[in-house]
């Protein structure tokens, strides 16, 4: 790579990612952010499009190509409590779910819905086939008009909670089923000799974000027309560590995906070797 070339880091527009890239935006180093839809990021990283060195991938996108990648240690986004980030809305007159409309922008959330429905809410009649998934643009009204249920992934905070129709919060459902946080994603890159600087910069950016959560909440509130209290509460819903619980959750997710025929195997979690990590921030 030429000395003056930029290291491109791929992110989605999700608001919960802001603490991770806040430091990159304030850095004078050779880093550029590329914002893309979550489903496009793994393809761009596979093809190394536009000098993309690292991207924030979902669990299933890592799992499908685990042998090709390493994970930046100590950094992930996970949650336990309800934040309206991953919701499954179900029409009120439905008893058995035969069709689910899903957001075309995402991947792991669809797999999560398949796992939760199969493990916790299978159709009552044995003759019913597993639900058919219909990829659609994210419009709850239109999705529920064409299907029994709609998988809604909110990449930004939702201050007004929809009370109808009935909705399952799939992060809560995952935690209830496994006792573990749900891992939304983490930094992934190819294992190359010159990745050390990129990895260290991503770790530095995370630590800077953790120390500026109040400022990030203020920016998010102003941009999304939210109260400052709600924006701060939203960010506090998420954890940004990749410790033992998060790794256990990731492995459990891949095992379920393998059991239900979504993955051909269960890859190991491979991390970049960057030496001892700083103590986790409190968030």
Tens-place pLDDT, residues 141-194: 999 999 999 999 999 998 776 667 889 999 999 999 999 999 999 999 998 888
Q: What is the pLDDT of residue 107?
A: 94
pLDDT at 3 over 80: no
Q: What is the pLDDT of residue 31?
A: 79
Work out the percent of the chain whose per-residue pLDDT is above 70.
90
Q: Determine the Cα–Cα distance for residues 106 and 238; give it in Å rounded to an integer.
A: 19
pLDDT at 278 over 70: no
Question: How many beta carbons lie within 10 A of that of residue 65, not counting itself?
Answer: 14
3-state secondary structure of 10: strand
Q: Determine the Cα–Cα distance for residues 241 and 183; give it in Å rounded to an integer.
A: 10
Question: How many beta carbons lie within 10 A of that of residue 276, not counting itself?
Answer: 5
Which domains, and CATH codes, for the chain?
7-79+181-259 (3.40.190.10), 86-178 (3.40.190.10)
Q: What is the pLDDT of residue 1?
A: 42
Q: What is the pLDDT of residue 126?
A: 58
Q: What is the per-residue DSSP string for 28-54?
A: -SSEEEEE--TTTHHHHHHHTGGGEEE
Q: What is the pLDDT of residue 58?
A: 96
- Give 226 or 281, the one with higher predicted confidence: 226
pLDDT at 127 over 80: no
pTM: 0.91
Q: What is the pLDDT of residue 128?
A: 64
Q: What is the mean pLDDT of the chain?
A: 90
Q: Determine the Cα–Cα distance for residues 157 and 123; give it in Å rounded to an integer.
A: 31
Q: Determine the Cα–Cα distance for residues 122 and 86; give it in Å rounded to an integer.
A: 19
Per the CB < 8 A criterion, the answer to whether 42 and 65 are in contact is yes
Per the CB < 8 A criterion, the answer to whether 171 and 83 are in contact is yes
């Amino acid at each position: 790579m030429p000395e003056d070339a930029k290291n491109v880091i791929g992110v989605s527009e999700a608001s919960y990612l802001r603490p991770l890239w806040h430091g990159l935006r304030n850095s004078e180093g050779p880093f550029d952010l590329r914002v893309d839809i979550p489903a496009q990021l793994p393809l761009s990283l596979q093809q190394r499009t536009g000098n993309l060195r690292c991207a924030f991938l979902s669990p299933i996108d890592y799992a499908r190509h685990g042998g090709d990648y390493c994970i930046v240690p100590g950094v992930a986004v996970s949650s336990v409590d309800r934040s309206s980030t991953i919701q499954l809305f179900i029409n009120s007159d439905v008893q058995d779910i035969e069709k689910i409309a899903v957001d075309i922008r995402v991947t792991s959330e669809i797999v999560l819905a398949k796992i939760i429905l199969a493990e916790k809410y299978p159709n009552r009649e044995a003759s019913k086939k597993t639900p058919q998934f219909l990829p659609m643009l994210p419009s709850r009204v239109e999705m529920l008009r064409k299907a029994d249920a709609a998988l809604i992934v909110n990449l930004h905070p939702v201050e007004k909670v929809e009370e109808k129709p009935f909705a399952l919060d799939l992060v809560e459902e995952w935690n209830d089923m496994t006792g573990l946080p749900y891992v939304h994603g983490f930094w992934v890159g190819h294992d190359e000799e010159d990745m050390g600087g990129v990895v260290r910069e991503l770790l530095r950016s995370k630590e800077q974000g953790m120390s500026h959560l109040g400022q990030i909440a203020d920016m998010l509130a102003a941009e999304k027309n939210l109260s400052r209290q709600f924006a701060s509460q939203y960010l506090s819903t998420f954890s940004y560590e990749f410790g033992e619980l998060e790794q256990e959750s990731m492995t459990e997710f891949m095992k379920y995906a393998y059991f239900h025929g979504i993955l051909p195997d269960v890859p190991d979690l491979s991390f970049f070797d960057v030496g001892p990590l700083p103590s986790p921030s409190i968030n």
